[in-house]
Every structure is written in structure tokens, then in C-alpha cells.
Amino acid sequence: MKVVVFGEDMFTSGVVESLLEKGHMLLSVVTPDYHDHRHKRLEETALKHSIVFVKDKDVNSDKIRDHLISVKPDLIIAVHLRKILHKKIFSLALKGAINIHPSLLPKYRGLSPQHQAIMHGDSESGVTVHYINDTVDTGEIILVEKFPILKDEYILNIQFKMLEIYKRIVPESLGLLEDDSFKPRKQDLANVSYFGPLKKSDREIDLTRSVQDVYNLIRAVSLPYKGAFYKNYTIWAAEIPKQSEDLENKYISQGFYFDKVSDKVILKLKDGFLLSDDFEIE
């Protein structure tokens, strides 16, 4: 199948490699031009395989539209694209356009699905391949692959799992779409949720929340993201102590403490403690 891939990062690069391995023809790779280096790896992958690499500030520009008209793709694939494709763009492929979304749609539509699954304490997440239509993340589902979220896993671990799934699920989806008898399924509207991009306020530690809530937040926004914070402390990792009798005797009031002797941050929350020796002070 002849495809054009829209994307920005290592996830897009991994999908490009996997499609080439399965014998698909990549006509071009299109990326938003953010005037930084986030697309560098993707560009290197495209150049390595002599694939046309197109950058534009606006992925819905006339330049991109004219390019698609000239190359005539069978399918457009969006992979980790943080821009919304307009109908004048996604309608230009013979078999339409698909998006790879890092959640079990329709749960966690929007721009922070990987974080939300951890923040909400979910025991599983997944990757969904769906058609692109006029509204965000609402198109019919082509393929889904689930995976477990372990109770102590951080966002980086989850992303590594998803990257491996991306490499499998996109070629598998194209195989389904090459079968004229294949029928996608509609999303279950009983389970819809939507979240926008994470704001700074979403990363702030609230000492009135439970131990599990704060622990989930720390895991969800740690590296490679900006981290959970309280005042001028950024917490990259934490642990829930197995025993807390000594802590209960030392820290009577709910709050945020720094122990200079152990060089640890201690969070006393309404139902227990979190400890961290992996933090930064700004």
C-alpha cells in the first residue's frame, strides 16, 4: 500500500521502519515545523530510506494539500501528531486516513491519554488504530491491542511498551484494510472521556489527595516530561513505605517535609506517606 505518514517523533520513526519492513511504499513523511529539533530522528529515518520529508508550520496548508494531490496516497497515517488534520487533507487518500491513539478509545480521547491512564490508576491501557473523521478521536476502530499497567510503572516504561505495539499494530491494520471484506467497528459511546494537554497546574502535588493519587501523578508525569512538583521541588520518583510507624511519630501534621539527614522528601498525606530521594530543587 502507498502511504503518507504524518508525525513528529520516535514513535513515528518506529512506524516508518516497520512499514518499510512489511513492504509498504512510503511516498513521504510530513511533520509540523516547530522550529526546534523534536523531528530530528524522524528526519534522519526518512533520509536514510530516501523518503521525501516535508516540513510545514501548518500541516493543513495548501503546500501540504498540493503535495498529497501530486503523490496520490492510498492511505494517510497519523502517528503521534499533535495537530488536527482537516478534512481537506485527510480526505485526499483513496482509502482515507487513520490515526494511532495511545489509549483504549473512546477512553481518554485528546492529548494526554498516556498520562491519564496512570493518573486514574488504571490496571491496563492500550493502543487503538481508528479512522480519522471530522471530530477528534471519534472515528471507527480498526484494531486495538491492550497491555497491563503494573502498579509501580512510570510513564517512560509505558511508552516503551506502546512503541513496540505501534510497530506491530500499524502494519497489521494495513493488512486488514487491504481486505475489502473488513468492517471497522463503531466506538462504544458509553465509555467516552476526553482530556486536553497537560497544564502546569495538572502536575502540581495536592497534599489533600490520597497517597495513591499523588503516587500516580508522580509516575504519570515523570521523565521524559516535566515532573510533579510542590512549590520549588520537582519529584521524579517516589515510594510508598512498607512501614510508617517511625514516620507517624516524627511527622504529626499533614504536609511536605525535607529531611536533611537522609536527603529525602517526605510527603505526609491524609492516608499515609510518600518518600522520595529522586527530586530537584529549583
Residues 30 and 103 grouped into a single domain: yes
- Same domain? For 19 and 120 the reply is yes
Are 173 and 208 found together in one domain? no
Domain containing 255 — which CATH number?
3.10.25.10
Are 191 and 205 found together in one domain? no
> Is 96 found in the same domain as 71?
yes
pLDDT grade for 55, boundaries at 50, 70 and 90 = very high
| Residue 106 shares a structural domain with residue 222 | no
Q: Cα separation of 247 and 250, whole Å?
A: 5
Model confidence pTM above 0.85: yes
> Which domain-ending residue is among 195, 216, 233?
195
User: How many domains does the chain fold into?
Assistant: 2
Q: How many CB atoms lie within 10 A of CB 72?
A: 12
The answer to whether residues 149 and 275 belong to one domain is no
Query: What is the pLDDT of the chain when averaged over all its residues?
Result: 96
Q: Is 192 exposed, middle or buried (0-12, 13-18, 19+ CB in 10 A)?
A: middle
- Report how far residue 97's alpha carbon sits from residue 132's, in angstroms, rounded to the nearest whole number: 6
Catalytic residue among 39, 101, 115, 130: 101
Three cell numbers, residue 29: 513523511
Please list the alpha-helical segments (H only) found in the chain.
10-21, 40-48, 62-71, 87-90, 113-119, 155-177, 211-221, 245-250
Do 152 and 214 belong together in one domain? Answer: no
Residues 14 and 126 in one domain: yes
Per the annotation, the verdict on 101 as an active-site residue is yes
- Domain CATH code at residue 79: 3.40.50.170
| pLDDT at residue number 244 | 85
The pLDDT of 84-112, averaged and rounded, is 97
Residues 228 and 147 in one domain: no
| Mean pLDDT on 227-238 | 98
Q: Using the predicted structure, report yes or no on whether residue 243 has a pLDDT greater than 90.
A: no
Q: What is the pLDDT of residue 87?
A: 96
Give the tens place of pLDDT for each residue, 179-226.
Answer: 989 999 999 989 899 999 999 999 999 999 999 999 999 999 999 999
Query: Domain check: are 25 and 151 in the same one?
Result: yes
Kind plus residue range of the DSSP H or E element containing 128: strand 124-131
Range of the domain at 177: 2-195
Question: 3-47, pLDDT tens digit by residue?
Answer: 999 999 999 999 999 999 999 999 999 999 998 888 999 999 999
